Chain A
Amino acid sequence: MTSTLFLAGYAAFVGVFAPRVLARARWTHRAPRLAVLAWYALMATFLVTVTLAAYHLVLREQHVHDGLVGLLSACGLFPVGSASHAAADPATLLPPALVVLLPAGWFLDRVWRTRRAQRRHVALLAVVGNPSADHDAVIVDHDTPVVYCLPGRYRQVVVTRAAIKVLSQEQLGAVLAHERAHIAGRHHLCHAMVDAFGRSFPGLPLARQAKGQVALLLEMAADDRALRLHSRENLAAAMCEVAAGRAPRAAFGAGGSSAAVRLHRLLVPAATPGRAARLGVVGGSLAALLVPLLIACGPFFG
């Protein structure tokens, strides 16, 4: 029972407390891709912890095996058939399997829905858009400056005439590079994963925070990619122009829009974290993942 309690406590730590710390961390905006990795590590840790907790809970309730053999089979380190028939019992495996299968199912559902929405969108684009070889994008006649991309199978960058009009050649180049970074980085899959996690654990602070944070961090990562070939001024000015051309929104959440955060980041560049700090983040993420395994399999708790 002890390990189940410890696992539950750790799940609460990862699901409630850790996201608050990570969301407030200052290094994340300087290394957005690393920060996305950290968010995924937290979500993976939460999944592993809850899976193991569910497994232990079922095992204990069946009062089948205690002692070393039971412990090893609980961790999957001991051949299941010879150690315990409880582990082979489908009823034992069902709760932990559900914890893993639920987000996996939502992920497939998201990817499928995304593709369906894109198919519809692409059909519309085919009849009203004009493919432009110069921009390597599809141009749509519309008087609101809009730039977006469809990532994935139907990969495509779409620009309205108004956007081409308000942006200079260099600014447009920077925006297109940003959109291509989304496509090249397969950011739609990143969104789908966070979304699937959120659907599986609705109301969990980690899920709520991850959704907003990862979306912002992916935008920053695309900005950084665009900056490899384009200047900060051009990308920042393009952001202003496109935002200014859109119908303004009345109400606002706290902390301002993500565009404001991105723009300030462009205008006030900060050094990216050093090698040691990066290794620290990766190491911390791995350590967080190992803790539940240690609790479940370690010699300290029965």
Chain B
Amino acid sequence: MTDAHPEQTAPVGADVPLISNQNVMMNISLIKEYHENWTKAQTQAFVSAGLERLGLSHIANRRNPALTAEERFCAMLLRAAMIRNALIVIDRPFQIFPHLQDATFLLGALDGISDLFMRCFILDYCWMKDKYGALCR
């Protein structure tokens, strides 16, 4: 994935929602179609593979309101990963899934698609560092 292109910021956060009148597939495909002019078939295959790696193939045709917090986060993460040479910035992830006690799910999701982005930054309040465990030490 490394090439001559510089890293591009790819935000993930509660303030960067999915498009509500499009399903997950269309939301994620949009980035490749818009920036890299991929065909629908190409993007669908690529996105389907990414969802499968996250174990979320079943949410491809669902829209934002029909998703759980974890599914929503994964969809947002995958969308951000569609940016070429993505520098993923996750803004206060516990605003998206406030019911989770730690970042295990978050780290698992990042591990699942680690080859799709260059780097990842997680921004959160300092009093939340306990939730991130070993990541903050």
Is B a genuine binding partner of A? no
Listed in ascending order, the chain B residues whose CB lies under 8 Å from chain A are: none
